[in-house]
Structure 1
Amino acid sequence: MVENTVTGYSVLQRALHWLMAALIFFNLIFSDGMEHWNRLMRRGEAITPDDISSANIHAYVGIAILLLCLIRLAVRLMQGAPDAPPQEPPLLKLAAKLAHWTLYALFVLMPVTGMAKYYFGNDTLGELHGGPLKILLWALIVLHVLGALVHQFYWKTNVLARMTRGV
């Protein structure tokens, strides 16, 4: 077996991570414009240009997240990623790997299902987008942050430094 020589994330990987985090939080926290547009559409009420602009911001940020995710995946495949620290128990290493790849899947599925609703009127995928996928995304974000804190303060590993300073 070839030993992984990657010990930290590149500047590009870290920039993509934090930019995506900011855009994801923006869309999760400031989804009111899209939700308002959706309510108006369901009720058959008039939609103003301001309503469309607010919904478009949410949609365009989602599209940016999708594109950044695809770039991030390509960079990860080319540059690799550091192994989990040895202090992490094997079962938690597996859980972390599953959580990370599920996050990547959500970074694709959320924009695709959102676009299916907004641009193509697919209500089923829209419900999936604003319901179970959104809940799963929030849950995994919380677990991701908690995992980083456990690494930092319990196992005292360099996981946070790898994604902040690249060490």
Structure 2
Amino acid sequence: MTLKNTADRWGPVSQAFHWLIVLLILGLAIVGLTMGELPKTPKYFWVYTAHKSTGITVLVLVIARLAWRLYAGRPEPVPGTPTWQERIAGVTHWLLYALILLMPISGWLYDSASGLRPFRWFGLFNMPKLSPPDEVVRDAALTMHEWGFWVLVVLVCAHAGAAFYHHFFQRDATLLRMLPRRSPRIADNGPGPSVGTNTKEPPHVP
């Protein structure tokens, strides 16, 4: 089994990158939307640092995924897909990449320009500052982070909706080729032997 992408499906490395990033972004979204309601206790600052650390992790994973895609190629379009759908899908993919990169960078820039102490990536090492304290940069970064999130939500919903549309209505392999290949299953109660097979009949009992 090859780890690279093939002409008809995404390989296991691309699939792992895709679903891991999806899960991390989902967690970031849930925490980001509820974090402001938490009381300012030590737990709040732990959650806040974990949120920033996870965002940097997503940034690294997306860069690694883009590098892997350049190396491993990408599958050919699903046969029968109209050209306009291919173009929209291509634009949507690159916009998703851009926004997934923008979100952690804008959050990191906001943290840097706010004049806070450098945060430690999961408590292991300090992250460098992208900017000295600056209110203008801080406000611009916060605006990008907040609006970028909602644009990302819209694009993710459109991307997922298109995948389900292809799966349930066009019944093609668009969604399946981003899922692990299933092994063929043998039914336990399969049909009996077909007509013409050489089977012995039970002896006649008078």
- Same fold (TM > 0.5): yes
1:148 partner SS: helix
Shift of residue 166 of structure 1? 5.0
**Take 1:107 and 1:89, find their aligned partners in 2: how far apart are those partners?**
27
Match of 2:13 in 1: 12
Q: Distance in 1 between matches of 2:14 and 2:84?
A: 26
On the 8 A contact 1:8/1:166 being kept in 2, the answer is no
Q: 1:115 aligns with which of 105, 108, 120?
A: 108
1:62 aligns with 2:55: yes
Offset of 1:36 from its aligned partner? 5.2
Q: What is aligned with 1:90? A: 83
Which structure has the larger Rg over C-alpha atoms? 2
- Is 1:50 the counterpart of 2:43? The answer is yes
Aligned counterparts of 2:181 and 2:70: Cα–Cα separation in 1: 17
Aligned to 2:169: 154
Does residue 125 (structure 1) correspond to residue 141 (structure 2)? The answer is yes
Are residues 111 and 166 of structure 1, via their aligned partners in 2, closer, same or farther at CA, if it must alter by over 3 Å? farther
Q: Which runs of 5+ in 1 are unaligned?
A: 41-46
Please give the per-residue CA displacement for 1:71-108, whole angstroms capped at 9, x wherever unaligned: 10000000011122132221111111000000011111
Aligned length: 154
Alignment partners' CA distance in 1, 2:163 and 2:148 = 22
1:44 maps to none
Q: TM-score, normalising length from structure 1? A: 0.84
For each residue in 1:31-84, what CA deviation from the matched residue of structure 2 results, as whole angstroms up to 9, or x when unmatched?
122x358xx9xxxxxx54332211111111111110000010000000011122
Look up the equivalent residue of 2:102 and give its one-letter code.
L
TM norm structure 2: 0.69
- Tell me what 2:68 maps to: 75
SS of the equivalent of 1:30 reads helix
Residues in 1 aligned to 2:161 and 2:153: alpha-carbon distance in whole angstroms: 12
Which AA in structure 1 matches 2:45?
I
- TM-aligned CA deviation for residue 5 of structure 1: 5.7
Greater helix percent: which structure? 1
Partner in structure 1 of residue 150 of structure 2: 135
User: Where does the alignment leave 5 or more consecutive residues of structure 2 unmatched?
Assistant: 115-137, 183-206
1-side partners of 2:88 and 2:11: how far apart?
24
Runs of 4 or more, structure 1, over 3 Å off, are none
Secondary structure at the aligned position of 2:9 is classed as coil
Instruction: Return closer, same or farther for 1:69/1:84 CA change in 2, 3 Å cut-off.
Output: same
Q: CA RMSD in A?
A: 2.0
Larger RCO (CA within 8 A; separation ≥ 6):
1
Distance of 2:153 and 2:139 partners within structure 1: 21
* Identical residues among aligned pairs (%): 31
CA distance in 1, matches of 2:79, 2:12: 24
**In 2, Cα distance between equivalents of 1:81 and 1:166:** 17
Specify whether residues 75 and 134 from structure 1 end up closer, same or farther in structure 2 by C-alpha distance, changes over 3 A only: same
* AA matched with 1:20: I
Amino acid across the alignment from 2:148: L
